[in-house]
Chain A
């Protein structure tokens, strides 16, 4: 057990910029939603009793194309939904899969819950760290990978498990890490 596992949420990428001030009043927001994003968000709004409910969906829509959610995106989303940007920011910083700072092209979510812990999570995490030269919550210098911890992936029978982008892998032998990462360029 060489690496420190973050015990609280504040070491996560998604939280790292929590203290940043959003572009203050008077600041020109040069961020613009694409027509497609705007359209998708408006479509999402139609599924609920009020537009606020689409805030998480909207953040995910923006993140899907851009990889992360910038200050400007928070403001643009709040404009579309008609709610204060501080509310959108409150939501953006709460949820672990919304990234408020840039992440790598591929996001690795390593399950660190009990069943994976019992089937070799620590060895797997260390193998990933050695291979990538980063710890949990960090991004490689070439912006290829970001590695984050995640709650039980519901693949406990295949532990230790991880996800890379939308792909679930498990059980992952620490010896196979390098071959696995090769597949994500």
Chain B
């Protein structure tokens, strides 16, 4: 059982992430991976490029972090403490994928883990790291199996371990599986978790690139971000940047996807800057009888957008200007007969439950928002509740809490009220209309 792909291509020049996937969507083993140019980027880089060259390529590529934050990977790498005065550190792959509505890293790890391994070794070379850890969420059982298999194949072939591909560089990777909790995905919480501690975030600075796992320079990157590195190393940063073909300043392609009540939910690799409308079309549009009410562009911590925003290019800046975030780039659609109040309550329940409890606005503010939202959902909201929710969202916004978890919770709340205030007002006691609809049962449309 694997995710449906809207379209496929075997052209590595246009689909660097997915062109090697098998038609039967099974595991691409080492032999097949190498037959399709796999580990070519690693071999040529170790032979021809210095770590600085590779970092320059990464900067030119303008590959922006695919874990949801959108920070330039090249810039991040250029800030890592390297050189004689610094100990060799770690590359940590963030494979904790738990953002509601996000299912892209799973596909990459289940089907083509060698691509991730190649990306991590290259990242290790560029950042002078000694070792890599793949921090994989515990529920991804099949991905764990496939990664272990790929790691064993790579070690056996001399691609991992001492003298990677007969070079002077040594590097190994270890799979670390987690034990639940969304907050583990926050990069400093992830480092604490890797060290065997509770997953509370750490204060920054120092940034992980200076002092991360066990105090060593540590680069944390998302699975998909790392999977892009081999193609950049092989074809160059300019080539990668141009993949988005003038649609966006953001370089490259990305795994986009759609879930919710569309005809064909699934994934697809497309250039950055493709429009939401094109993406939704590829998913076959809404199921018969349903119309699009609103959508989240990239997971539960992004803001609600309206149907008219479908024309925007899916890239970090444009979606940011519209009051949301590109996030993970996996779109969640909401149908005309589904309640925004109920969905917002569901999202805030998630964030309240997953708060690590470290700081008060997040730990206490989020359950409070859930209480208010539940009252409104039942039609028992009180006068002033909506303003209170707006104030709460403001108080847990950017800069007011220890990590970005709470601002992530604030964004859907704020934008839901901004775009659908009438639905919230309908849930205030004595309101004229009770306009909210229950979600319809699955399979009925």
Residues of A within 8 A of B (CB): 1, 5-9, 14, 47-50, 52-57, 59-60, 81, 87, 90-91, 94-98, 109, 112-115, 117-120, 122-124, 149-160, 163, 166, 168, 171, 173-174
* Selected interface stretch from B71-79, B148-156, B239-247, B253-261: B253-261
**B199 at interface, CB cutoff 8 A:** yes
Complex formed: what's the CA distance from A56 to B195 in Å? 9
Most buried by B among A57, A152, A154: A154
- The residue that A113 contacts in the complex, of B3, B179, B350, B370, with Cβ under 8 A, is B350
Q: How far is the CB of A10 from chain B (nearest CB, A)?
A: 9
Docked-complex contact A174 and B106, CB < 8 angstroms: no
Within 8 Å CB of B3, what residues of A? 157-158
Bitwise, B74-101 to A at CB < 8 A (1) or not (0) is 0000000000000000000000011111
Complex formed: what's the CA distance from A160 to B261 in Å? 11
19 A-B residue pairs with CB within 8 Å: A9-B353, A48-B195, A49-B214, A59-B179, A96-B179, A98-B179, A98-B180, A109-B139, A115-B259, A118-B259, A118-B333, A119-B442, A120-B442, A151-B354, A152-B98, A163-B139, A166-B141, A168-B1, A173-B443
Within 8 Å CB of A57, what residues of B? 176-177
* Supplied contacts A56-B196, A112-B350, A173-B443, 8 more A-B pairs, CB within 8 Å: A7-B352, A8-B353, A48-B194, A50-B195, A117-B342, A120-B439, A157-B3, A158-B3
**B36 at interface, CB cutoff 8 A:** no
Give the nearest-CB partner of B370 in chain A.
A7
Give the nearest-CB partner of B141 in chain A.
A166
Given A49-B214, A53-B196, A96-B179, A156 and B353 touching (CB < 8 A)?
no
**B300 at interface, CB cutoff 8 A:** yes
Docked-complex contact B178 and A56, CB < 8 angstroms: yes
Given A152-B101, A156-B101, A156-B103, A114 and B346 touching (CB < 8 A)?
yes
Docked-complex contact B1 and A158, CB < 8 angstroms: yes
Q: How far is the CB of B408 from chain A (nearest CB, A)?
A: 13
Complex formed: what's the CA distance from A174 to B444 in Å? 12
- The residue that A154 contacts in the complex, of B106, B177, B443, with Cβ under 8 A, is B106
Q: How far is the CB of B289 from chain A (nearest CB, A)?
A: 15
Bitwise, B108-125 to A at CB < 8 A (1) or not (0) is 000000000000000000
Complex formed: what's the CA distance from A138 to B97 in Å? 26
Give the nearest-CB partner of B344 in chain A.
A114
Q: Count A/B pairs, Cβ under 8 Å.
A: 180
Question: For window 270-317 of chain B, which residues contact chain A by CB distance below 8 Å?
Answer: 296, 300
Complex formed: what's the CA distance from A173 to B443 in Å? 7
Within 8 Å CB of A95, what residues of B? 178-181, 199
Complex formed: what's the CA distance from A111 to B413 in Å? 21
Within 8 Å CB of A117, what residues of B? 342-343, 346, 439
Within 8 Å CB of B260, what residues of A? 115, 118-119
Complex formed: what's the CA distance from A163 to B153 in Å? 29
Within 8 Å CB of B194, what residues of A? 48, 53
**B102 at interface, CB cutoff 8 A:** yes
* Chain A to chain B: the 3 pairs with minimum beta-carbon distance, closest first: A120-B442, A96-B180, A95-B179
- The residue that B265 contacts in the complex, of A153, A154, A157, with Cβ under 8 A, is A157
**B336 at interface, CB cutoff 8 A:** no
Most buried by B among A118, A149, A153, A171: A118
Complex formed: what's the CA distance from A8 to B140 in Å? 24
Docked-complex contact B180 and A114, CB < 8 angstroms: no
Given A114-B332, A115-B332, A6 and B97 touching (CB < 8 A)?
no
Given A8-B352, A118-B332, A55 and B180 touching (CB < 8 A)?
no
Complex formed: what's the CA distance from A91 to B178 in Å? 12
**B147 at interface, CB cutoff 8 A:** no
- The residue that A97 contacts in the complex, of B100, B180, B350, B353, with Cβ under 8 A, is B180
Q: How far is the CB of A162 from chain B (nearest CB, A)?
A: 11
Give the nearest-CB partner of A173 in chain B.
B443
Docked-complex contact A8 and B198, CB < 8 angstroms: no
Within 8 Å CB of A54, what residues of B? 196
Docked-complex contact B300 and A120, CB < 8 angstroms: no
**B266 at interface, CB cutoff 8 A:** yes
Within 8 Å CB of B338, what residues of A? 118
Q: How far is the CB of A18 from chain B (nearest CB, A)?
A: 12
Give the nearest-CB partner of A161 in chain B.
B103
Docked-complex contact A113 and B353, CB < 8 angstroms: no
Complex formed: what's the CA distance from A55 to B179 in Å? 11
- The residue that A157 contacts in the complex, of B4, B138, B296, with Cβ under 8 A, is B4
Within 8 Å CB of B198, what residues of A? 90-91, 94
Complex formed: what's the CA distance from A14 to B180 in Å? 11
Given A114-B300, A156-B332, A47 and B195 touching (CB < 8 A)?
no
Docked-complex contact B99 and A152, CB < 8 angstroms: yes
**B441 at interface, CB cutoff 8 A:** yes
Q: How far is the CB of A123 from chain B (nearest CB, A)?
A: 5
Complex formed: what's the CA distance from A167 to B439 in Å? 27
Docked-complex contact B180 and A91, CB < 8 angstroms: no
Complex formed: what's the CA distance from A126 to B370 in Å? 21
Q: How far is the CB of A67 from chain B (nearest CB, A)?
A: 15
**B182 at interface, CB cutoff 8 A:** yes
**B349 at interface, CB cutoff 8 A:** yes
